[in-house]
Amino acid sequence: MSDVKITVGGAMEEEASRRFIDAWHRAERGETFHERHLAFESWEALSRVLTGKRLEVLRYVRRHNLTSIRALAKALGRDYSNVHADVQALTAAGLLDATDGGVRADYDAIETKIAI
């Protein structure tokens, strides 16, 4: 597993360029790595994706093996359609993996860097 790195604000293009060059050099050295990085233009953009209920979903999925979104909704005591929408949003953001085999969060931690 790995960490998810989230950057909020600042010079996102410069940061992305630096990460790309670093990844290129590691690949040239033959290193294998898996890196997941998300960038949001503002705190408001991040907070639209990571609502309180979605953080609850992330925490639960991280700690439990789930076979379906329906099982997740039942475990959380929430309406299926709302949990399904949350899973879709978190999957689109790259924070969850939802497949026929279930819902997974394949990382150890989320690290946030906020540029002011």
Report pLDDT for 35: 67
Report pLDDT for 53: 95
Report pLDDT for 33: 66
Residue 57 near residue 88, CB atoms below 8 Å: no
Q: Of 24, 43, 44, whose CA–CA distance to 35 is shortest?
A: 24
Arithmetic mean of pLDDT over the chain: 82
- The CATH number that applies at residue 35 is 1.10.10.10
Per residue in 63-76, pLDDT (tens digit) is: 898 889 999 999 99
Q: In which element (H, E) is residue 24 found? A: helix 12-28
109-114 and 102-104 beta bridge pairing: unpaired
Domain containing 31 equals: 3-114
Q: How many domains does the chain divide into?
A: 1
Q: Of 37, 76, 111, whose CA–CA distance to 87 is shortest?
A: 76
0.95 cut: is pTM over it? Answer: no
Mean local confidence (pLDDT), 2-6: 71
